[in-house]
Structure 1
Amino acid sequence: MASTFKINGRPVGPDHTPYIVAELSGNHNGDIKRALALIDAAKAAGADAVKIQTYRADTITIDHDGPEFLLTDGLWKGRKLFELYEEAHTPWDWHAELFTHASNQGITLFSAPFDPTAVELLERLNAPAYKIASPEIVDLDLIELCARTGKPLIISTGMASFEEIEEAVATARAAGAAEILVLHCTSGYPTPVDQANLSTITDLTKRLDVAIGLSDHTLDNIVAAAAVAVGAVLVEKHFTLSRADGGVDSAFSLEPAELAQLVKDLRSVHAAIGQPNYRPTAAELITLPMRRSLYVVADIAEGEELTRANVRSIRPSNGMLPRHLKSVLGKTATRALTRGEPLAADMVQGFTSQHDG
């Protein structure tokens, strides 16, 4: 199992509550005050971190009118790539203020860089971790550059083959990354529940010696909760102040109350997983006396035969275990027994203590 590591001092791993990341993405809607408010709201909801994206439209694509630069389907159908990224990007001159504000609020802020100049900016701001976005998993130069910083590296795997995931992880390790987390992801915006394929988390856990999490684009918290149940140690969800406010990612983003519920639900799921256990828990000790045992249910004279009419398996559990019923039937009482007495080995002629338990 992959070892636990820390992001900005917070342990991330199977023995710790899920690390919950609120993805701000383009939900600032071009307003730094809204971006700051989103950080505040994520902190209030209990998220561990806020993630932003560091790119400019001209570092992620080019301004071109060719058909391949026009989105023809999905949530952003009809949008030109350059115009979409121009709207969605987080201006670089906001970054220092966002990092300072998050630090003052006591919540971690990190980013997904999309080119070397973004990494340079984030290094100057001492970003505590880096994420490789799903489409960038094939950009091995970017992975190598982020890995060389020595910071924890989170690699998202939407659309990727296992071979591409393996290559990305190997590239990161070869460049010195010791703390790697792979996010299972379906890059559908939103993602239909029946395409979440959470069994991939279990498979990746077996096949890769790294921590595994989930980047979730479904419309509620059920998939995220199920992901934690099958081993996800980090969950990332897009986050907005209000879907009614619009924005490029608002349609598949959680509102503050929903994020707070996600935090509560994922902590509950993690707590419920626990450890394999075959002994009564503390909560069961109250109920333990209500197990069945053998009781005298009709008065029995000394020397009288024990039968199904005078000995039964009933609640509570103060008598002999029910498995001894056949062994005591037909034997005689060593003394007079009273209705309501729990049956004990010394009450049964010829029943030795070695048979009891």
Structure 2
Amino acid sequence: MNSPTWLHTPSEKAACTVIAEVAQAHDGSLGMAHAFIDAIATTGADAVKFQTHIAAAESTPGEPWRVRFSPQDETRYDYWKRMEFTPEQWAGLKRHCEEKGLLFLSSPFSEPAFELLDRIGVAAWKVASGEITNKPLLERMARTGLPMLLSTGMSPLAEIDRTVAWLRSFSAPLAVLQCTSEYPCGPEHIGINNVALFRERYGTAGLSDHSGTIYPGLAAAMLGARVVEVHVTLSRHMFGPDLPASLTIEELTRLVEGIRFIETMLAHPQDKDRIPETVEALRPIFMKSVVTRRTLPAGTRLEAGHLTTKKPGTGIPAWDFDRIIGRRLRRSVPENHILMPEDLED
């Protein structure tokens, strides 16, 4: 399997890595998690990302989010508990990703979750927005030397600067992702401008998008994002907290196609002083020449009323229309004659 393209330096022309985040959309079903991998493999995306929750290691009994969440789960804690897979099941998901040519990623939300994933192996560490100040967890990730993808959905710039500066003391490659922790996130809160800001400020930037549309990802690619992450769903009728912020498999396919199209455009800048040969061949077909409106005898001093402009552009260019007014004809010419320089007296 190829290395993630965001391992390259910003000066290298490498593709944007598209990450399809399943998160918890599998709703605790191992079979559904594997079905997501199969579906994502058809889209051209580069990576699949899950979330690894170990409920007891992640939250205290006093956590405010421990409220009734669904008809099946008494509390959000119970929901996270239901999302847990065994190490063997996680290893199976990783193998499935590799068989499909996809990078395997999962965000750890506790140190035991990190330890589980570290044993199984991930292509990179995705740091969730709520973990950007979790120094013990960040240090364990950074010490592996694997690439780190830092989401910034809840942090001001000073906090991001502090974390990035500290992480720079390790050898792990780092990409900083613009993110807004709203599900879904409206266009007025996407903060697409921060992709360019982060690229200039930190070197490698990306976007973790929660809009539920393909548009921010395309805009991010134009701004030089090296990573675009989006949530995915198999259907708009599925259950889950991330559903409103997710793309369908069909939308993900269009997003990937669009990003690859944009990459090709950016990799092939056009010099407007050098018209492509394919376009140069069209010039005589579509440009226009100065043409006579009627038959004119030799010696006629040309007036505007004698002339018009028509295709093809093989004679005196239409741009020179005014320049030939007042010139005399060297020879007689018929109606619809494309004037040539040799038709005119010196």
Report the TM-score range of the alignment, normalised by the length of the smaller protein.
0.7 to 0.9
- Give percent identity, aligned residues only: 28
Distance 1:296 1:206, change over 3 A: farther
Identify the residue that residue 4 of structure 1 maps to in structure 2.
none
Match of 1:24 among 19, 22, 25: 22
Q: Which amino acid letter does the alignment assign opposite residue 237 of structure 1?
A: V
The corresponding residue for 1:342 is 338
Alignment partner, residue 303 of structure 2: 307
Q: Is the Cα contact below 8 Å between 2:152 and 2:179 reproduced in 1?
A: yes
| Corresponding residue for residue 232 of structure 1 | 225
Q: CA deviation at 1:69?
A: 4.7
Q: Which residue of 1 aligns with 2:260?
A: 267
Query: 5 Å matches for 1:147-186?
Result: 147-177=142-172, 179-186=173-180
Q: TM-score, normalised by structure 1?
A: 0.82
CA distance in 2, matches of 1:99, 1:56: 18
Match of 1:140 among 111, 128, 135: 135
| Cα offset, 1:343, TM superposition | 2.7
Q: Which amino acid aligns with 1:167?
A: R
The alignment yields a C-alpha RMSD, in angstroms, of 3.0
Q: How does 1:26-41 map to 2 (within 5 A)?
A: 26-41=24-39
By how many angstroms is 1:50 displaced?
A: 0.3
Indicate the SS of the match to 1:320: coil
2:191 pairs, out of 174, 194, 197, with 197
TM-score (norm 2): 0.85
SS of equivalent to 1:338: coil
Q: Deviations over 1:226-260 (max 9, x none)?
A: 33233333221112333423134334323323322
Matches within 5 A, 1:236-315: 236-271=229-264, 274-278=268-272, 279-281=274-276, 284=279, 287-288=282-283, 289-315=285-311
Question: Alpha-carbon deviation of 1:190?
Answer: 1.3
> Any gaps of 5 or more consecutive residues in structure 1?
1-6, 351-357
Partner of 1:58: 56
Give CA deviations for 1:122-167 in whole Å, capped at 9, x if unaligned. 3332322111111112223433332222222211111221222222
> SS at 1:145's partner residue?
helix
Amino acid at match of 1:264: E
Question: 1:25 Cα shift?
Answer: 0.9
The one-letter code sitting in structure 2 at the alignment partner of 1:312 is T
Q: Using the alignment, how far apart are the partners of 1:79 and 1:206 within structure 2?
A: 46
CA contact (8 A) 1:88 1:248 kept: no
Instruction: Check the 8 A contact 2:231/2:245 in 1, yes or no.
Output: yes
After superposing the two structures, state which structure 1 stretch, 311-320 or 94-103, moved more.
Answer: 311-320
User: What is residue 318 of structure 1 aligned with on the other side?
Assistant: 314
Aligned counterparts of 1:58 and 1:283: Cα–Cα separation in 2: 64
3-state SS, counterpart of residue 201 of structure 1: helix
Q: CA deviation at 1:285?
A: 5.2
Q: CA deviation at 1:286?
A: 6.5
Cα 1:89/1:284, change in 2 over 3 Å: farther
Pick closer, same or farther for the CA change 1:335–1:147 going to 2, 3 Å: farther
* Aligned match for 1:96, one of 91, 95, 100: 91
Paired letter, 1:267: R
Residue from 220, 242, 250 that aligns with 2:213: 220
Give the Cα–Cα distance (whole angstroms) in 1 for the partners of residues 259 and 99 of structure 2.
26
Q: Does structure 1 residue 208 correspond to structure 2 residue 202?
A: yes
Q: CA deviation at 1:276?
A: 4.2
Distance 1:10 1:176, change over 3 A: closer
**In 2, distance between residues paired with 1:191 and 1:91?**
32
The 2-side partners of 1:226 and 1:17 are apart by 15
What is the CA distance between 1:271 and its match in structure 2? 4.1
SS of equivalent to 2:247:
coil
- Per-residue CA distance 1:262-312 (angstroms, 9 max, x = gap): 323333444455524425456645653212332333333333212212233
- Residue pair 1:61, 1:81 contacting (<8 A) in 2 also: no
Q: Is the alpha carbon distance of 1:55 and 1:292 closer, same or farther for their aligned partners in structure 2, counting shifts above 3 Å?
A: same
Paired residues of 1:26 and 1:89 also in contact (CA < 8 A): no
Equivalent pair of 1:53/1:90 in contact (CA under 8 Å):
no
Shift in Å at residue 186 of structure 1?
1.0
The number of residues matched between the two structures is 337
Q: Given the superposition, is the C-alpha separation of residues 15 and 79 from structure 1 closer, same or farther in structure 2, using an over 3 Å criterion?
A: farther
